[in-house]
A = this chain, B = another copy of it.
């Protein structure tokens, strides 16, 4: 019984204390741990059981530097696109590609159009499945005391080319993994003042969308 309570608490704790990390120590992740993390990802649900995720481990230093360059290029383009927030954005640390202990690329496989189950009206469910796999990996990493950051600042076609990916596949995440000095006490973008976290109560509705105040609607019945 005590074990069951601790196990449940562990799930909530990993969920609450998981962070999108950008600061890493450079020690490697040991092989057994990395395998546990990848297996956790592979336990994810997938639409029609299509398992559309693919993972590429980056072990070559020159390749890592090329990926870093792609992220840097997109960082500058994003800053330009942000206009008046250009300087503020450029001061943020948005990736840890060069220093993290382990670098993974998560991608959607090719040939997804043949999978119709659960995707006829919502083809993007394949991306949802890979995202669930990444979240599994993230939570398992947190439970192991390992940090992860999901970087989406890159040109996907340029990255696909760099990794010799086939037509129809698509990289969706540069995942920086590694040991950390400490986990941030809250979301980095909140701590730096980039964005404000909204309470759940504002994002919940009952029976119909309602752009008015939705406070406390989780516990009340339909209006």
Contact = CB atoms under 8 A, between A and B. Distances in A.
Interface in A28-62: 31, 34-36, 38-40, 42-45, 47-51, 53-60
Central interface residue in A16, A35, A59, by most chain B CB within 10 Å: A59
Q: Which 7 A-B pairs have the closest CB atoms?
A: A7-B10, A10-B10, A131-B131, A6-B6, A49-B195, A11-B143, A128-B131
Stoichiometry, as copies per complex, reads 2
Given A8-B143, A132-B131, A209-B56, A78 B15 contact: no
B121 A155 contact: yes
26 contacts: A6-B10, A7-B7, A7-B13, A11-B11, A11-B139, A11-B142, A11-B143, A12-B140, A15-B43, A15-B136, A35-B218, A38-B204, A56-B208, A59-B207, A60-B207, A63-B207, A78-B117, A78-B120, A121-B154, A127-B127, A128-B128, A128-B130, A128-B134, A132-B135, A135-B136, A166-B211
Interface string A170-211: 001100000000000001011000110110100111111111
Interface string A57-89: 111100100000000001001100110000001
Nearest to A144: B8
A169 to B, nearest CB: 7
A222 B62 CA distance: 12
Interface in A72-112: 74, 77-78, 81-82, 89, 109
Interface of A: 3, 6-16, 18, 20, 31, 34-36, 38-40, 42-45, 47-51, 53-60, 63, 74, 77-78, 81-82, 89, 109, 116-122, 124-125, 127-132, 134-136, 138-140, 142-144, 150, 152-156, 163-166, 169, 172-173, 187, 189-190, 194-195, 197-198, 200, 203-211, 217-219, 221-222
